[in-house]
A and B are shown apart, each in its own frame.
Chain A
Amino acid sequence: MKVSLFLTCIGEVFYPNVGKDVVKVLERLGCEVDFPEGQTCCGQPAYNSGYRKDAIKGAKQMINAFAGAAYVVAPSGSCVAMVHEYPALLQDDAYWLDKARELSNKTYEFTQFLVDVLQVTDVGAVYPAKATYHSSCHMNRLLGVKEAPKQLLQHVEGLELEPLSNGYDCCGFGGTFAVKMSAISEQMVDEKVRHIEETNADTLIGADCSCLMNIKGRLERLDKPIEVKHIAEVLNHHK
């Protein structure tokens, strides 16, 4: 199966390792992965801040970049949710609307792709740790991917998964929100950190680099010795 990786801007700039792990997991599962060079960013920062026109520019770039792809897979529920927003963003332009729909229909979040398309829940990973899972808002609510990451983690050998209380609450990232409303965002991430600590987990796993960046940043600042891992990093750990 041919799969085009959309690494996302945050992935490219900060977490190239997550990209590598996604590629390797997909390849192990028999996919042929390519990386379309024209990809940039899904445009979400502009869209969510009210800069619709600037977001449209990015959307068109992305549509062209992935025009030849059969499946597009990204390790970020939030960016995939944004791609799914393209048809609404381009609804007034029949030409682009068609293309936006096409891209949206073939774009999947990484764990969603593994479970729903490849129909795999056990990727043969081994990861001895006591972990808890943070479910990202956009992935969970806007994209509706709730169970896939948990199903995958349940099959990881050696991984002990503790439930996270108030797991449905946002970690306070929200793109520019974390900067514009930093005092409120801080309280939100602090509450998240408290709940993570209560689990006594040594590792926090998530499926969206941006939320992890926020939580990790606060954990580091508070000197909390908790590892933060993207789910692709965990799933690529094997014998």
Chain B
Amino acid sequence: MSIKIDDKNFYDHVDQELKDTFMRNAISNAQDNLRGKKIAATTEDEPFGNWEEWRNAGEEIRRHTLENLDYYLQQLSENIAERGGHVFFAATAEEANQYIKEVVEQKNARNVVKTKSMVTEEISLNEMLEDMGCDILETDLGEYILQIDDDRPSHFVAPSLHKNKEQIRDTYREKIAYDGTEKPEELTVYTRKVLREKFLQADVGITGCNFAVADSGTVTLVTNEGNANMVTTLPDTQISVMGMERVVPSWEDLDVLVSLLCRSAVGQHLSTYVTAVSPDVESDTVDAPSDFHLVILDGGRSRALGTEFQEALHCIRCAACVNVCPVYRHIGGHAYGSIYQGPIGAVLSPILAGYEEYQELPFASSLCGACTEACPVKIPLHELLIRHRERIVAGEGKTKASEKLMMKGFGNMTSSASVFQTAVKAAPTLTRPFAKDGSISKGPGPLKAWTNKRDFPAPSKDNFRQWFADHKRGGDINE
């Protein structure tokens, strides 16, 4: 059980995805569209005020919460218990699944409806439930499409972004006896009918959690389809699963984070639904679940606490970083081999699953900083990628000995003016055999990868230092 989506290695994924023209078009269109909307929502909306101030507030809330995580998790769990709910702290995916399994068994449940959850993807909950013989239904449209096609998400906010409507129609025809067209409205209406029937039969509802409000003991879900409302109100038993970092101190803090989330994710001021659920056993309300469980998962997150990676846990999963990432733009979400994609995926996946599995991801970035600039809670994503690289180089992953040697040589060269000068002077001579008309088009060694696709400039025979000395002496006065 893990965040891994398959057994392919990163470079094979990249090769395959780069050939997928449809996927790449879909993603670049979606990126252009989403980032355009985000910019509009964050710069042109006067009453909203200054976006940078909102970001500062968001960062501050996340920092404060993570620095006091023990306190807020305890407060959250006490409040939920007080209202009659059960809280389970799971150290691992296995523990989380075991707990959920017991609840489902106790209820003799067969039909499970689910909504809005990356974290249950992370622990492969569906597979576990299927093995138990349960019928599980993903109720978000995007997730539902992936479920029936046995596929994995490629984007946090639009999980089936990589599929087009014709592909979806074909899947529907093959898997759920659909005989309509590829029109999105028709597909949606059909899906809704299928879902409605299942909602009424459901014994257990399972949700993720965008934010859990500590001082009231409430799980909140931000959605646009409203299925979360069905999942949390129709079945009597509800299980919510959250990563342990998803807690916020109060409703005021939630307000700030939801505002940042919706604008950053899709450029909306607010999503269509913000569903809030608390167990409410005592007062016997009609829509609160009578049996409520909250599973709080560590799943490797605590490895980041107190380290240079703690800020990665500030993430509110808005995908703004994904939407601006030029690497994601070309390779898509599946290439990351993790259910967490893009820049935050490259930071988070090695933390959660180790360098053995994800050692290429921190290098899959040109460090352009677009992600850091986009992040509404100011996570320094590109810097965290460098921190990963440092750890990998320091021995937590495999680094080529030749590369280490080269960098050592580089360090020595930059720390000695004379060695550096000797190298500068030798460069044109050393590269002369490869150069033609000032360019190298077939380079040796490390230049090979570069010159496969691009010319490389030949080092200049002109020596700047010589020129500068002459210039100072007035030698080039007429130049």
Residues on A facing B (Cβ under 8 Å): 7, 9, 11-17, 19-20, 23, 35, 37-41, 43, 45-55, 57-58, 60-62, 65, 137-138, 141-142, 166, 168-170, 172-175, 177-189, 191, 213-214, 216-218, 220-221
Question: Would you call B424 an interface residue if the criterion is a C-beta within 8 Å of the partner chain's C-beta atoms?
Answer: yes
Number of interface residues of B (CB under 8 A): 65
Q: Contact between B424 and A184 (Cβ–Cβ < 8 Å)? A: no
Q: Contact between B370 and A169 (Cβ–Cβ < 8 Å)? A: yes
- A57-B412, A173-B366 given; A19·B464 CB < 8 A: yes
Alpha-carbon gap, A45 to B393, bound state (A): 14
- A184-B14, A186-B453 given; A50·B393 CB < 8 A: yes
Q: Contact between B330 and A35 (Cβ–Cβ < 8 Å)? A: no
Q: Contact between A141 and B389 (Cβ–Cβ < 8 Å)? A: no
Q: Contact between B467 and A20 (Cβ–Cβ < 8 Å)? A: yes
- A46-B407, A185-B366 given; A169·B455 CB < 8 A: no
Please indicate which of the listed interface residues A168, A170, A184 has the most CB atoms of chain B within 10 Å of its own CB: A184
- Chain B 382-421 interface residues, beta-carbon cutoff 8 Å to A: 386, 388-394, 399, 403-404, 407-408, 410-417, 420
Q: Contact between A174 and B18 (Cβ–Cβ < 8 Å)? A: no
Question: Would you call B208 an interface residue if the criterion is a C-beta within 8 Å of the partner chain's C-beta atoms?
Answer: no
Alpha-carbon gap, A137 to B407, bound state (A): 24
Q: Contact between B424 and A13 (Cβ–Cβ < 8 Å)? A: yes
Q: Contact between A184 and B372 (Cβ–Cβ < 8 Å)? A: no
Residues on B facing A (Cβ under 8 Å): 14-15, 18, 32, 324, 326-327, 329-331, 363-370, 372-373, 386, 388-394, 399, 403-404, 407-408, 410-417, 420, 424, 427, 439, 441, 446, 449-450, 452-457, 459-460, 462-465, 467-468, 471, 479
- Report the minimum CB–CB distance from B212 to chain A (whole Å): 33
Please indicate which of the listed interface residues A7, A20, A138, A170 has the most CB atoms of chain B within 10 Å of its own CB: A170
SS class of chain A's interface: helix, strand, loop or mixed?
helix
Chain A residue numbers with a CB within 8 Å of B367 are 48, 137-138, 174-175, 177
- Report the minimum CB–CB distance from B44 to chain A (whole Å): 17
- A45-B410, A179-B446 given; A39·B417 CB < 8 A: yes
Contact of A217 among B18, B393, B457, B471 (CB under 8 A): B457
- A49-B407, A188-B366, A218-B454 given; A61·B414 CB < 8 A: yes
Q: Contact between B393 and A49 (Cβ–Cβ < 8 Å)? A: yes
Q: Contact between A57 and B415 (Cβ–Cβ < 8 Å)? A: yes
List 18 A-B residue pairs with CB atoms under 8 Å apart, sorted by A's residue number: A40-B417, A47-B386, A49-B393, A50-B388, A50-B394, A51-B390, A51-B404, A54-B411, A57-B412, A60-B415, A166-B32, A175-B366, A178-B450, A180-B363, A183-B14, A184-B330, A187-B18, A188-B366
SS class of chain B's interface: helix, strand, loop or mixed?
helix
Contact of A35 among B14, B411, B457, B465 (CB under 8 A): B465
Q: Contact between A170 and B368 (Cβ–Cβ < 8 Å)? A: yes
Chain A residue numbers with a CB within 8 Å of B420 are 9, 40-41
Q: Contact between B366 and A40 (Cβ–Cβ < 8 Å)? A: no
Alpha-carbon gap, A182 to B448, bound state (A): 10
What 10 A-B pairs come out closest when comparing CB atoms?
A: A174-B366, A54-B411, A50-B389, A58-B414, A217-B454, A170-B368, A137-B368, A16-B464, A57-B415, A50-B393
Alpha-carbon gap, A35 to B92, bound state (A): 58
Chain B residue numbers with a CB within 8 Å of A182 are 449-450, 452-453
- A55-B411, A61-B417, A218-B453 given; A16·B467 CB < 8 A: yes
Q: Contact between A15 and B450 (Cβ–Cβ < 8 Å)? A: no
- Report the minimum CB–CB distance from A127 to chain B (whole Å): 18
Q: Contact between B412 and A38 (Cβ–Cβ < 8 Å)? A: no
- Report the minimum CB–CB distance from A171 to chain B (whole Å): 8
Q: Contact between A220 and B455 (Cβ–Cβ < 8 Å)? A: yes
